[in-house]
Chain A
Amino acid sequence: TQLLEQSPQFLSIQEGENLTVYCNSSSVFSSLQWYRQEPGEGPVLLVTVVTGGEVKKLKRLTFQFGDARKDSSLHITAAQPGDTGLYLCAGFNYGGSQGNLIFGKGTKLSVKP
């Protein structure tokens, strides 16, 4: 069974601080997705990383896929209150089937003004 562990589970910081959250597995994934989820809503796709070592930037968010495609990180620079939310990573594997996403439990981020 493939599992994704996210850390930290909770993170509370002040506006303007930098932060990094992690997503780790003992399994290799074909790709890894990062989502953001607000309470009572569906996950919103932020980015997909596919190649080992790949780095993608989305404004103040930087996503990295580990060289072995087993882990990923999300770094936020100069966090703002609008960044508050639940950040989920989800791994995907090609296979005989059409594949499904395996989700981590998420990191709940709170950015205080």
Chain B
Amino acid sequence: EPEVTQTPSHQVTQMGQEVILRCVPISNHLYFYWYRQILGQKVEFLVSFYNNEISEKSEIFDDQFSVERPDGSNFTLKIRSTKLEDSAMYFCASSPGPPGEQYFGPGTRLTVT
């Protein structure tokens, strides 16, 4: 069964460093998303991406964040200058389209020290 994959599974970085989180969505899906989950809290939307552009972003997704689909398969989230409060699980999701069936990857645990 097709699934969303994410790499790395765990990333440790120092405050101020840039990180790139990678995702391979399900191949025939058209909509791509990033969410994050701080330990013990609920899953929060960051950004959605469709037709090679951002379609929606949350207040969390400030100028330090960017997304890219550099080729036909990968979908990346870049954090330019990490802060301690960026420590969280980051989930990539993809969907064939509405009505909201989004399939999540296993996540990348980002630890900023």
Measured CA separation A41–B104 after assembly (Å): 9
Of the listed stretches B64-72, B74-82, B94-102, name the one at the interface; the rest are far from the partner chain: B94-102
B43 at the interface (CB under 8 A from A): yes
Measured CA separation A40–B111 after assembly (Å): 13
Instruction: Given A100-B45, A102-B45, answer yes or no on A43-B91 (Cβ-Cβ < 8 Å).
Output: yes
Contact A98 B50 (CB under 8 A): yes
Contact B55 A42 (CB under 8 A): no
Instruction: Given A99-B56, A106-B42, answer yes or no on A48-B104 (Cβ-Cβ < 8 Å).
Output: no
Measured CA separation A104–B42 after assembly (Å): 7
Bin chain B's interface residue count.
20 to 34
Task: Give the number of A-B contacts (CB < 8 Å).
Answer: 77
Contact A105 B100 (CB under 8 A): no
Name the distance in Å between A52's Cβ and chain B's nearest Cβ.
13
Measured CA separation A11–B68 after assembly (Å): 41
Name the distance in Å between A28's Cβ and chain B's nearest Cβ.
13
Contact B99 A48 (CB under 8 A): yes
Measured CA separation A91–B105 after assembly (Å): 19
When the two chains form the complex, which single residue of B33, B101, B103, B104 contacts A100, counting CB atoms closer than 8 Å? B33
Question: B43 contacts which chain A residues (CB < 8 A)?
Answer: 43, 88, 90, 101, 103
User: 1/0 contact trace for B78-89 toward A, CB 8 Å?
Assistant: 000000000001
Task: List 7 other contacts, CB 8 Å, given A43-B43, A45-B103.
Answer: A33-B100, A42-B107, A90-B100, A92-B100, A97-B55, A99-B98, A100-B45
